[in-house]
Structure 1
């Protein structure tokens, strides 16, 4: 258990948890459904991941962040951004609204913003509230490591339930020899295949890491082009515009105006509401994990 010295806000990457929960259970070929046929496997899996993290990290406040759609300021900057992503599976799509209803029943705000991704909502809430409390970000997305500060920890979910790596500035430096801001420079150089932006063609993770470690930042690299090998220098010079654009795409916004007060994030369960919601979803076992079954 992490020692708790003051109030703690858990920011949940709802998109990451939903996709992880869906594919972890769908891999078996069995999709959990209600009697009416509503798929609920991702909702059930989400709750397992979520409640394990709540028990482990003991937040006093929680908010859950979501994407709203595929059109964001990043797709305006680069039309191919995430253009390689296939549509969500049919059985997953209806579960996004169901899990938001579940969060409502738990008294947890669902946060999103038109034109922005869940990452930007998380970054903005972390920046807003970390002055007054410790912030923990629950995700599987290593891009979030750029948000780490002395007050903001990133919890990366590993394979299986209850397996986490909690990143602080110190542990990030120890494991990856990088500071948080350098994650953005790395992405600018190497791009991101999953988000479908290229970075500098011909520069992969190994070269990007070496350059960032040696020259500190993209600016440092560009100021020292004469010191680079001819091959690397040529690649950077040929793709300079894409280097800058890729770095912009990689940077999580921390200045999105969001209507979410810290009071709204205060984590206090209403047992009757929670039990009622899970009975409706035919998941009677969940309130009992939460110690609520006897409250009916």
Structure 2
């Protein structure tokens, strides 16, 4: 019996990646009945590959539950730059959850919170007694890294992952997980549409954090900073505090999923039937091999 290991899946990250990877030249994979399935097909392929690579004994899939969260209450423009989802992706939002359930994986999401917050909360809960792998494409999750929590960033190409533990994060980014939150506070995040401190880029922010440890340390030593940097921070200090708050993953969301509920025991016959219904014939053999390896 392998050591228990839970994989927390950032569902939207996999689904959107699956959509754009399987929409070449405008072609959208559909069933004979006309149901678009390209995003779900990609989601399943990425998920199966990660399962083969990391061998989780437990899996949970976490989802956003609408655009309104406690962050949009603090800052109206948060994620306000996101375009509407493509029309042929919309019916796949419900379908992908049905597929995750069919694979024997619980779906988790809390209204008012993001999937990141569910993942952060569950990583702290499970990290007390087993190793945790967070599967995502979102570098914001790097703040969750600790001795028992690894963040797996999906890169281009099959089976291509960057796996961050505290040592790897320090080596590559020169920052601790907590400092990564402060980095986002300083530089903002264009994809989430919050600005940080105007005129402060990643290189300067990283240098400041290495020298002074945190945003609080920087503010306590403003008199030591170059005149231009000091002026930029002073002009945007309220936004700096707000952006740090927006960047912080909330690790006390009201979400509970027990180890028993997410123990992965895939039912081969059930999955084969589901894949046949969705015309995912090429994936039946892949999942059969994987099911046999975890049985």
| Pair in the same fold by TM > 0.5 | yes
Answer yes or no: is the 8 Å Cα contact 2:6–2:58 preserved in 1. yes
Instruction: Pick the aligned partner of 1:193 from 180, 183, 190.
Output: 190
Which residue does the alignment assign to 2:5? 8
Residue correspondence of structure 1 range 119-138 to structure 2 within 5 A: 119-138=116-135
1:100-111 correspondence runs (5 A): 100-111=97-108
Alpha-carbon contact 1:146-1:180 (below 8 Å) kept: yes
CA distance in 1, matches of 2:238, 2:113: 23
| SS class of match (2:132) | strand
- TM-score calculated relative to the size of structure 1: 0.96
Q: What TM-score do you get using the length of structure 2 for normalisation? A: 0.96
1:169–1:179 Cα contact (<8 Å) kept: yes
Match for residue 208 of structure 1? Answer: 205
Deviation at 1:101, TM superposition (A): 0.4
Which structure 1 segments of 5+ residues have no match? none
> What residue is the counterpart of 1:157 in the other structure?
154
1:283 to 2:280 alignment: yes
Where does structure 2 lack aligned partners over 5 or more consecutive residues? none
In structure 1, the residue matched to 2:68 is 71
Contact (CA 8 Å) 1:275, 1:292: kept in 2 or not? Answer: no
Alpha-carbon distance between aligned partners in 2 of 1:112 and 1:44, rounded to the nearest angstrom? 22
- Between the aligned partners of 2:39 and 2:119, the Cα distance in structure 1 is 21
Deviation at 1:29, TM superposition (A): 2.0
| 2:239 match: secondary structure | helix
How far apart in 2 are the matches of 1:259 and 1:141?
23
Task: Between 135-144 and 23-32, report the one with greater CA deviation.
Answer: 23-32
Match for residue 182 of structure 1 among 179, 182, 207: 179
Q: Name 2:165's counterpart in structure 1.
A: 168
Deviations, residues 116-135 of structure 1 (Å, cap 9, x unaligned): 00100100000111111000
2:109 pairs with one of 106, 109, 112: 112
Check whether the contact 1:172–1:180 (CA below 8 A) recurs between aligned residues.
yes
2:6 matches 1:18 = no
Q: Count residues with an aligned counterpart.
A: 292
Residues 174 and 159 (structure 1), Cα distance of their counterparts in 2 relative to 1, 3 Å cut: same
SS of the residue corresponding to residue 26 of structure 2 reads coil
1:50 aligns to 2:47 (yes or no): yes
Distance 2:287 2:276 in 1: 14
Which of the residues 84, 88, 110 maps onto 2:85? 88
